[in-house]
Amino acid sequence: MILFSCRRVVQLTSKELDARLRLTELVCAGGHRLLCGQCRLYRQQLHAIEAAIREYLREAPGRGDERLPDDAKARIRDTLKEGMA
């Protein structure tokens, strides 16, 4: 198995929040994270940030987004809904 570099794993970890990874990406990034505590920690932190943002949006819809155009708010809402599915 070819393991990815930390740089590649960071890219895939970010991509993973928005899209499904290919099987080879999942296996290689997962293998790398088994051996690399820093990349494991990065993934945990990224998922914790995402969960905190989702919780914030659930508790206070519309708060803090007064300056965003309605179409931008709709795109963000749609993206978050897709991620929860």
- What are the DSSP calls for 28-62, one per residue? HHHHHHHH-HHHHHHHHHHHHHHHHHHHHHHHSTT
Q: Each residue of 5-15: pLDDT tens digit?
A: 999 999 999 99
Q: Each residue of 20-77: pLDDT tens digit?
A: 999 999 999 999 999 999 999 999 999 999 999 888 878 776 566 567 788 888 888 8
Q: Each residue of 36-51: pLDDT tens digit?
A: 999 999 999 999 999 9
Which pTM was predicted?
0.65
Q: Give domain status of residue 47, yes or no.
A: yes
Token pair of 44 as six digits: 């945990």
Could you list the residue range(s) of the whole structural domain that residue 61 is in?
6-84
How many domains, in total, are found in the chain?
1
Q: Give domain status of residue 70, yes or no.
A: yes
Contact 32, 39 (CB under 8 A): yes
**Percent helix, strand and coil across the chain, each rounded to 5?**
75, 0, 25
Q: 6: which residues sit within 8 A by CB, 6+ positions away? A: 32, 36, 38, 39
pLDDT score, position 18: 86
